[in-house]
C-alpha cells in the first residue's frame, strides 16, 4: 500500500512539474545544412562539417559547447559519434543536461575510456576538476558510430542520469544533493573537446516544447573570414527570433577570451554602423547579446581580422565619367591614408598606357588646381603617387573626357554703366552659338555685384534677345548672367555693374530727440528723376512714442500745401500745389515733421520710422511707383555727445574739437546727440546750446 501511495505521489509531482508544457515530443537534428542557425546557442567554433557537428576550435579544452533551444526539460538526449571520427574522439565529448541558461549552471556527463563522471557547470564553465558523482562503466569504450543516450530523471532521492551505449545500459550517475537543475526551464546540449576528431550526428532530444518560443540572436556579419581596416566603417549585422529588446555589442581581439564594449545598449534593428577601432588583430569576434542579461547571445562563427590602415592614395576626381573642357581650370582631388609625403600627379590620354607629368611634386593636401591641357581625348586618366618612389599610387577608376573648348556666349547688354528704371521693360542681348548648339539660355540677375544670383528664366529661347521687366530692387551694383541651360557652360555676365533705379525714392531720414522733449525734428527726403506734382504717404513710428505736432513743406516742396491727419497710431501726409506747381527733379528734404517725444521712451532706444501707403503723381498726373526707405528715430540725451549719460564740460570739449577738426571725425551717434537744432549738422549754434545746458 505504501509503495502504491509513493507511486501516485511521484506521478502527481511529475504532472505538476510539466503541466505548463505541451505533450512530450522528440526532435532530431541531423545537421544536414550549412549552418547551425537559431536552434542552437553555441560557441562560434561549433560548425557543421560534412553533415555533422564539429568543434572547429584549435584550442584543446572544454571551453566551448552548444545548447539546444527548441526543447526544454528533456527526459532523454542522444547523439551518434560520426563514423569519420576515431576512438580518441569518441571518448572526448559528452552531454550537457539540466542546463539553466539564466543561472548558467547544470551538469556535464563525460564517458571517457574507463570512467563515467558527472561534473558541474558553474557560471557557464564546465568544472572538470569537480566530480559530483562517478561510477565504473559496464560496457567497452565508445567508438565511431556508437549512439550515446542519457535518460534524465528528477527523483526524490536526487537527479538521476542513466547512460546507454547502443541501447545497453553503461552506468547511472546520481546527484543526491540536487545541486543544480532545479529551475523550471532547463536545456540540454553537447560539449566536444577541442582539437579532436569527435564530430557527432543525429542529435535527438525528447522533452517539451516551451509555451513561449525561445529567443535567439544570430550574428551574420562579421561572421568569420572578413578583413576590415582600422578606422573604416562597416555594419555589424545580426538576426533575432522571439526577441525585440535592446542589444549589447562587444568585441574580442583574442578569439573570445576577453571582451570590450562596442555599444552598451542599442535598438535591436539588425544592424549597427561601426567605426573599426585601432586594435589590429587576426583573432577578432563580435558578440551580440540581450543588453539586460546577455540571454540570448551569439558571436561570430569564426575569427575575422582588423587590419592596420593601409598606406594608400585614392583619386576621387576625376574618377571616371567626367567631361572637362580643354583649357578650363579644374580641381584634381584625392584622399590619403597613413601617408603625408608630397605627391606626383600625371595624366594619361590613352586609358593608362602612357602618362605625362601634370606636376612633379605638390603638397599632399587633397586637391590641386589644374589648368587643363589643350589636348583632347575620351580615354583620360589621372595617376597620383608618392613623389619619392611611386608607392602608394592610385589611378582614376575609369576614363574621363577632355573635350574641345565650348563655343562662347557673350553678353552685350546690359554690360555696365546702364541705369534701368524699376518696372520698365528692357532688352537683355547676347551673341554666340546658334540654337542648334545651345537651344535654351538660362538668365540670372544680381543686385550685389555678383555675390548672389536670382533666376530670371530657366529656358529662354537662344534668339539673342530677352525682354525683362526690371524688378523693384534698386541698386547701383546690378549684373546679368547668361549660360547654356543644359549644363551652365558656356556662360558670361555683365563686364561691369549697371544700376536699377526708380523715378522716385522716398526716405525717412534718421532723427533724434530727448524723452519728454518737444519739437524734435524728422525729415522726409525725396530723390526724384521726374517732376512730382503731388504725393501722399503714411508715417508709422513702431513703438508709438512720437506725437506729430507740426508738419511743414521744406526745400523744393516749400510752395506746396500740406494736409496732415494723426490718428494716434500713424500720421498721414498729403502734399499738393494749389497752382499746379511741381517738385522739380532733385534730391533733398521735402517734409519736416516736429514730434513731441514721450517721457516714457527709453535711452538708449529707438523707434522704426516706416513709410507706407505712398502715392506719387508726376507732372502729367500719372502714377509713379516709388521705392521706400525706412529710418529710425533715436532716443538720446541732447547735448550728451560722449554718451556718458550726462551733459558736461567734456561734451563742450568734444564739440570744440569737432568744430576745429581736431581728433576723430564726428560719429553718427555723436551727431544725433549734438545736433541741438535738428538741422542735420553740428555747428556753432549747437555748441552754444550745449554750453547753455552746462553753464
Beta strands 158-165; 147-155: pairing state? antiparallel
4's grid cell: 502504491
Supply the pLDDT for residue 17. 42
Asked if residue 111 lies in contact with residue 164, where contact means CB atoms within 8 angstroms, the answer is no
Task: Indicate the SS3 state at residue 121.
Answer: strand
Asked if residue 638 lies in contact with residue 682, where contact means CB atoms within 8 angstroms, the answer is no
Supply the pLDDT for residue 382. 96
Q: How far apart are CA 139 and CA 171, in angstroms?
A: 8
| CATH architecture designation of domain 410-501 | Sandwich (2.60)
CATH superfamily for domain 216-307:
Immunoglobulins (2.60.40.10)
Q: How far apart are CA 670 and CA 512, in angstroms?
A: 11
CA distances to 318, 378, 406, 665, 675 from 327, rounded to whole Å, are 16, 15, 10, 52, 61
Cβ–Cβ contacts within 10 Å for residue 616, how many?
A: 24
Q: How far apart are CA 228 and CA 280, in angstroms?
A: 9
> What are the residue ranges spanned by the domains of the chain?
16-208, 216-307, 312-403, 410-501, 504-635, 649-694
408's grid cell: 562662347
Best CA proximity match to 307, nearest among 265, 272, 279, 341: 279
16-208 and 216-307, same CATH topology: no
Which backbone phi and psi does 659 adopt, to 5 degrees? -65, -35
Q: How far apart are CA 541 and CA 190, in angstroms?
A: 89
Which backbone phi and psi does 493 adopt, to 5 degrees? -140, 170
Which backbone phi and psi does 421 adopt, to 5 degrees? -80, 140
Q: What does DSSP assign to residue 555?
A: G
Best CA proximity match to 193, nearest among 335, 334, 370, 56: 56
517's grid cell: 522733449
Residue 553 forms beta bridges with which residues? 591
DSSP 191-254: EE-TTS---EEEEEEEEE--SSPPPEEEEEES-SS-EEETT-EEEEEEEEES--S-EEEEEESB
Supply the pLDDT for residue 338. 81
107-113 long-range contacts, CB within 8 A, separation 24+: 107/132, 107/159, 107/161, 107/175, 107/180, 107/181, 108/62, 108/191, 109/150, 109/161, 109/163, 109/173, 111/137, 111/142, 111/148, 111/163, 111/165, 111/170, 111/171, 113/141
Q: How far apart are CA 221 and CA 460, in angstroms?
A: 55
Q: Which residues of the chain have pLDDT under 50?
A: 1-21
Q: What does DSSP assign to residue 661?
A: T
Q: How far apart are CA 26 and CA 385, in angstroms?
A: 66
Q: Would you give the distance in Å from CA 14 to the centre of its chain? A: 59
**What's the fold here for domain 312-403?**
Immunoglobulin-like (2.60.40)
Q: Is 588 exposed, middle or buried (0-12, 13-18, 19+ CB in 10 A)?
A: middle
**Residue 464 — left, alpha, or beta (φ > 0 → left; ψ -120 to 50 → alpha)?**
left
Which backbone phi and psi does 485 adopt, to 5 degrees? -65, -20
Q: What does DSSP assign to residue 581?
A: -
Task: Indicate the SS3 state at residue 98.
Answer: strand
413's grid cell: 547688354
CA distances to 97, 108, 192 from 75, rounded to whole Å, are 10, 15, 21
Task: Indicate the SS3 state at residue 575.
Answer: strand
Place of cell 525683362: 468
Asked if residue 493 lies in contact with residue 477, where contact means CB atoms within 8 angstroms, the answer is no
- Choose which CATH entry (3.40.50.720, 3.90.1150.10, 3.60.20.10, 2.60.120.560) describes domain 16-208: 2.60.120.560
Residue 386 forms beta bridges with which residues? 343
Task: Indicate the SS3 state at residue 137.
Answer: coil
DSSP 193-207: -TTS---EEEEEEEE
Q: How far apart are CA 479 and CA 205, in angstroms?
A: 85
CA distances to 35, 230, 474, 596 from 286, rounded to whole Å, are 17, 15, 66, 79
Which backbone phi and psi does 655 adopt, to 5 degrees? -65, -40
Supply the pLDDT for residue 22. 56
Q: How far apart are CA 404 and CA 327, in angstroms?
A: 9
CATH class of 504-635: mainly beta
pLDDT tens-digit series, residues 424-461? 899 999 998 888 889 999 999 999 999 999 999 999 99
Residues 52, 58, 60: CA angle, nearest 5 degrees: 100
Which backbone phi and psi does 458 adopt, to 5 degrees? -95, -10
Residues 607, 610, 613: CA angle, nearest 5 degrees: 155
Amino acid at each position: 500500500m505504501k509503495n502504491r501511495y509513493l507511486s501516485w505521489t511521484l506521478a502527481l509531482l511529475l504532472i505538476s512539474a510539466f503541466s505548463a508544457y505541451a505533450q512530450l515530443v522528440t526532435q532530431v537534428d541531423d545537421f544536414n545544412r550549412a549552418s547551425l542557425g537559431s536552434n542552437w546557442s553555441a560557441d562560434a567554433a561549433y560548425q557543421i562539417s560534412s553533415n555533422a557537428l564539429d568543434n572547429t576550435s584549435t584550442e584543446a579544452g572544454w571551453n566551448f559547447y552548444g545548447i539546444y533551444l527548441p526543447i526544454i526539460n528533456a527526459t532523454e538526449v542522444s547523439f551518434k559519434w560520426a563514423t569519420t571520427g576515431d576512438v580518441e574522439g569518441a571518448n572526448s565529448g559528452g552531454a550537457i543536461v539540466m542546463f539553466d541558461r539564466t543561472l548558467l549552471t547544470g551538469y556535464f556527463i563525460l564517458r571517457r575510456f574507463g570512467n563515467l563522471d558527472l561534473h558541474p557547470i558553474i557560471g557557464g564553465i564546465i568544472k572538470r576538476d569537480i566530480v559530483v558523482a562517478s561510477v565504473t562503466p559496464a560496457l567497452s569504450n565508445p567508438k565511431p558510430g556508437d549512439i550515446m543516450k542519457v535518460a534524465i530523471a528528477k527523483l526524490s532521492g536526487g537527479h538521476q542520469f542513466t547512460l546507454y551505449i547502443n541501447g545497453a545500459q553503461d552506468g547511472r550517475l546520481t546527484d543526491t544533493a540536487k545541486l543544480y537543475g532545479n529551475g523550471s526551464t532547463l536545456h540540454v546540449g553537447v560539449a566536444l573537446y577541442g582539437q579532436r576528431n569527435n564530430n557527432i550526428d543525429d542529435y535527438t532530444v525528447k522533452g517539451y516544447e516551451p509555451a513561449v518560443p525561445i529567443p535567439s540572436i544570430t550574428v551574420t556579419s562579421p561572421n568569420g573570414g572578413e578583413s576590415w581596416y582600422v578606422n573604416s566603417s562597416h555594419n555589424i549585422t545580426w538576426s533575432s527570433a522571439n526577441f525585440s529588446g535592446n542589444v549589447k555589442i562587444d568585441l574580442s581581439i583574442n578569439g573570445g577570451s576577453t571582451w570590450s564594449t562596442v555599444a552598451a545598449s542599442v535598438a535591436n534593428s539588425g544592424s549597427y554602423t561601426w567605426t573599426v577601432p585601432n586594435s589590429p588583430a587576426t583573432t577578432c569576434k563580435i558578440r551580440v547579446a540581450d543588453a539586460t542579461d546577455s540571454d540570448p547571445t551569439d558571436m561570430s562563427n569564426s575569427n575575422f581580422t582588423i587590419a592596420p590602415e593601409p598606406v594608400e592614395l585614392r583619386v576621387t576626381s576625376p574618377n571616371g565619367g567626367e567631361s572637362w573642357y580643354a583649357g578650363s581650370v579644374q580641381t584634381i582631388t584625392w584622399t590619403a591614408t597613413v601617408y603625408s609625403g608630397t605627391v606626383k600627379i600625371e595624366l594619361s590620354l590613352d586609358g593608362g598606357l602612357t602618362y605625362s607629368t601634370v606636376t612633379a611634386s605638390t603638397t599632399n593636401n587633397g586637391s590641386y588646381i589644374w589648368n587643363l591641357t589643350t589636348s583632347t581625348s575620351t580615354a583620360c586618366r589621372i595617376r597620383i603617387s608618392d613623389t619619392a618612389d611611386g608607392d602608394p599610387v592610385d589611378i582614376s577608376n575609369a576614363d574621363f573626357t577632355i573635350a574641345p573648348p565650348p563655343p562662347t556666349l557673350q553678353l552685350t547688354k546690359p554690360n555696365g554703366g546702364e541705369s534701368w528704371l524699376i518696372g520698365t521693360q528692357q532688352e537683355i542681348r547676347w551673341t554666340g552659338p546658334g540654337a542648334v548648339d545651345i537651344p535654351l539660355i538660362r538668365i540670372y540677375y544680381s543686385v550685389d555685384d555678383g555675390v548672389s544670383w536670382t533666376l530670371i528664366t530657366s529656358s529662354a529661347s537662344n534668339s539673342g534677345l530677352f525682354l525683362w521687366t526690371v524688378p523693384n530692387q534698386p541698386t547701383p551694383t546690378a549684373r546679368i548672367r547668361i549660360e547654356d541651360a543644359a549644363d551652365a557652360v558656356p556662360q558670361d555676365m555683365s563686364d561691369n555693374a549697371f544700376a536699377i533705379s526708380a523715378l522716385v525714392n522716398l526716405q525717412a531720414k534718421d532723427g533724434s530727440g530727448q524723452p519728454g522733449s518737444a519739437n524734435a525734428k524728422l525729415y522726409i527726403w525725396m530723390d526724384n528723376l521726374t517732376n512730382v506734382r503731388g504725393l501722399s504717404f503714411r508715417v508709422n513710428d513702431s513703438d508709438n512714442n512720437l506725437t506729430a505736432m507740426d508738419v511743414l513743406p521744406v526745400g523744393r516742396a516749400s510752395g506746396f500745401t500740406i494736409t496732415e491727419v494723426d490718428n494716434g497710431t500713424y500720421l498721414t501726409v498729403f502734399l499738393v500745389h494749389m497752382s499746379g506747381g511741381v517738385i522739380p527733379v532733385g534730391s533733398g528734404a521735402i517734409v519736416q515733421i516736429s514730434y513731441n517725444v514721450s517721457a516714457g521712451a527709453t535711452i538708449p532706444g529707438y523707434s522704426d520710422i516706416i513709410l507706407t501707403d505712398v502715392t506719387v503723381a508726376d507732372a502729367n498726373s500719372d502714377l509713379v511707383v516709388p521705392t521706400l526707405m525706412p529710418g529710425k528715430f533715436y532716443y538720446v540725451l541732447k547735448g550728451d555727445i560722449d554718451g556718458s549719460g550726462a551733459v558736461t564740460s567734456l561734451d563742450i570739449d568734444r564739440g570744440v574739437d569737432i568744430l576745429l577738426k581736431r581728433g576723430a571725425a564726428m560719429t553718427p551717434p555723436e551727431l544725433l546727440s549734438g545736433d541741438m537744432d535738428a538741422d542735420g549738422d553740428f555747428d556753432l549754434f549747437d555748441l552754444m546750446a550745449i554750453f547753455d545746458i552746462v553753464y
